[in-house]
Structure 1
Amino acid sequence: MSSQPSWPVNTWYVACTPDELTSGPLGRQIGGKQLVFYRNGDGKVVALADFCPHRGAPLSLGFVNVDGDLVCGYHGMVMNCDGSCKSMPGQRVQAFPGVTAYPIEERYGFIWVWTGNAEAADPALIPDFSWFDEPGWTYGGGLYHIRCNYKLMVDNLMDLTHETYVHASSIGQTEIEEAPPESFKDGDTVVTQRTMENISAAPFWKQALTFNDLDPEALVDRWQISRFTPPSHIMINVGVALAGEGGIDAPADKKASSIVVDFITPETENSIWYFWGMARNFKADDAELTNTIRESQGKIFAEDLEMLEAQQRNIDDNPDRDLLKLNIDGGGVLARRMLDRMIKAEQSGA
């Protein structure tokens, strides 16, 4: 990995979900750093460099003991939560140099890690997704490991024109590419939005209308509003409403809508951890519906995975080829410019 990463460092990234920590320590590379995550005796999540100070074994191959300490699985080195060496059978190791501990926050059903200067880690800098915790909302999602640069996924989600082709059997329809998107900055975020009026619903949205007790064959007004928050969080307000009922502002009983949740965490220059899901505020207590939507959405995002990995291979094989930019790429271009400014400021010491 280059000494100058292509992503912001002094920022919060989604590292994992709580259920990934139920069976012991979790090793995961985040932003080029090999980290280990576990819960200590107080139930608090801890993140350390995944490197035993004794012989360099991954601490993630160890276990959490009854006291909530992380024990190396090679020779039994026990680590403190601050990364210092606590003990080792038959040895005096308290003076050993320890490993880096990383700031952690557990919020909105995810584990967030700060990968840069720990003194700058301010929990208030985690974007506000408070609707995760609001009554009447529910969420279902998953995780994909994708072999592509994280900016390619940002491009993908800030330009939904590809739905017509990549997702033709689910959320795609020709009306998407016929409706020009509008892209603009909104404070510290980038927004790309598109609306389509008086059209037939795509297959996925026909299903959603049915779930919401609406006629799946009715003409609808459809919207897509992608909002990028650096470093790599994208929330997409999507939905359909019965035609002429106000679109996104239609009464709840006249529409089916949700928020597509996208947390993109760089692993390396050419791989990411992609936390995907959908939050909705209709029939929130219907667990079977949540599972049905999760399964359907997972298939849709698997199509993105296949395309993005093939795209990355092509780019790697053709390093001298420039990628073209069209009007549909406006949101991705603005997002990349915002990221480039953040990265340049970090690397210049600003």
Structure 2
Amino acid sequence: MSWITDAWYVAAWDGEVGREPMARTICGKPVMLYRKLDGTPVAMRDACPHRMLPLSMGIKEGDSIRCRYHGLKLGADGCAEEMPLRTDPVNKGICAETFAVVERHRFIWLWVGDKAKADPNLIPDFWPCSAPGWVFDGGYDPVACDYRLMIDNLMDLTHETYVHSGSIGQIELMEAPIETRVEGDGVFVSRWMPGVEPPPFWRLALGRDCKVDRWQVCQFVAPSNVMIDVGVAPVEMGLTLADHDAGTRGFVIDAITPESETSMHYFWGMARNFLTDDPGFTVRFKTQQGGVFAQDLEVLEAQQRSIAANPDIKLRGYNIDEGGVRARRVIDRLRKAKEAMAA
């Protein structure tokens, strides 16, 4: 497998998971998600331990789930509470696998791997999604591509010039120098564009026309997430790449969860420190951001089809690809280290 085990992955938005069971495949594992009566999320292997019917097709009874095939009833801990033949004694050894699950930063996080190692402190710190003075919302898309292609895409924003020319792209993205650095398991790609015309989105966010300094700082967060610090500030504010807190600023949040080797779940959004008291703008921007990302999905799915159709050709890395290349190296290193520990 190409992904890291023993790690937290986003399984769903908080609003997606309710009382009724839902199905989603996470890192090759079929998972059923629902909430108990007190709102606590539950994650369980989506297969009845009796005859393997998906439990997501089952019937909720309180905090428990009853298989729709023969009626085996399982508690939220996955263990049998009632046998198909009601006169049979309950065999507590009959259990469906359950997963460690935590709700944080508007997401439902699921631990893939050894449940005993599921430390909530290892959940990626998406701090702008929960910080006072910031507003956060976003959406979800299934994408038919290797999850690493999405990481490549997000760690190299030069593609904005051509893929997103009508919204956030501008030619200065191809001209401004970039700096790439690795800090532990994190990879950072930074770009500072001084004295440029703001593209359409940032002009709207500023509410006026003026020359701006624009920045982009892409951060790869293991196992498969990218946070992008983006924004603009009028040139007269004199901000720098090292100090731009006072600017019109946002964090593009990208939680990328493998489904299979050639498909993934993409949870996207933006946390922002501007127009925070305008819920209408939040709705409009979410729609606009979804349209921008739809352009990425079209490109990435076509790229995946081309990779399958050209098995004799390998991906190449140029200078602009350094962030994605280094992120892949981090993934490979962490994955091989866990495999070595398990051997």
TM-score interval (norm. to shorter): over 0.9
Partner residue, 1:174: 171
- Kept in 1, the 8 Å contact 2:141–2:265? The answer is yes
**Structure 1 residue ranges (4+ consecutive) displaced by more than 4 angstroms after TM superposition:** none
Supply the distance in 1 between the matched residues of 2:234 and 2:267 (Cα, whole angstroms).
31
8 Å contact 2:63–2:75 — kept in the other structure? no
Query: Which of 132, 136, 147 is the aligned partner of 1:135?
Result: 132
- In the TM superposition, 1:141-156 aligns within 5 A as 141-156=138-153
Determine whether 1:196 maps to 2:193.
yes
Give the gaps of 5 or more residues in structure 2. none
Residue number among 77, 94, 102 corresponding to 2:90 in the alignment:
94
Tell me, in whole angstroms, the C-alpha distance in 1 between the residues paired with 2:7 and 2:56: 23
What TM-score does the superposition give when structure 1 sets the normalisation length?
A: 0.93
Q: Counterpart of 2:300?
A: 308
Q: How does 1:1-350 map to 2 (within 5 A)?
A: 5-22=1-18, 24-65=20-61, 67-88=62-83, 90-91=85-86, 92=88, 94-95=90-91, 97-210=94-207, 215=208, 217-247=209-239, 249=243, 252=246, 255-349=247-341
User: Does structure 2 retain, via aligned residues, the 8 Å contact 1:148–1:271?
Assistant: yes
Whole-angstrom distance in 2 between the partners of 1:188 and 1:231: 9
Q: CA deviation at 1:251?
A: 6.9
Q: Displacement of 1:98 after TM fit?
A: 1.7
Work out the percentage of aligned pairs sharing the same amino acid. 47
Aligned equivalents of 2:59 and 2:252: distance in 1?
Answer: 35
Answer yes or no: is the 8 Å Cα contact 1:239–1:258 preserved in 2: yes
Kindly tell me the number of residue pairs found equivalent between the two proteins: 338
Structure 2: distance between partners of 1:202 and 1:188: 32
Query: CA 1:69–1:251 in 2, change beyond 3 Å: closer, same or farther?
Result: closer
**Are the equivalent residues in 1 in contact too, given 2:19–2:36 (CA < 8 A)?**
no
| Native 8 Å contact 1:222 1:247 kept in 2 | no
State the alpha-carbon separation in 2 of the partners of residues 123 and 251 from structure 1: 28
CA distance in 1, matches of 2:175, 2:141: 31
Structure 1: how far apart are the matches of 2:202 and 2:270?
14
Q: Given residue 14 of structure 2, which amino acid in structure 1 is its aligned partner?
A: P
What amino acid is aligned across from residue 259 of structure 2 in structure 1?
A: E
Question: For 2:341, what is the secondary structure of its paired residue?
Answer: coil
Q: How far apart are residue 186 of structure 1 and its match?
A: 2.0
Aligned partner of 1:76: which letter? G
Deviation at 1:21, TM superposition (A): 1.7
* Paired residue secondary structure (2:237): coil
Change (3 A) 1:86 1:196: same
Shift of 1:250: 5.0
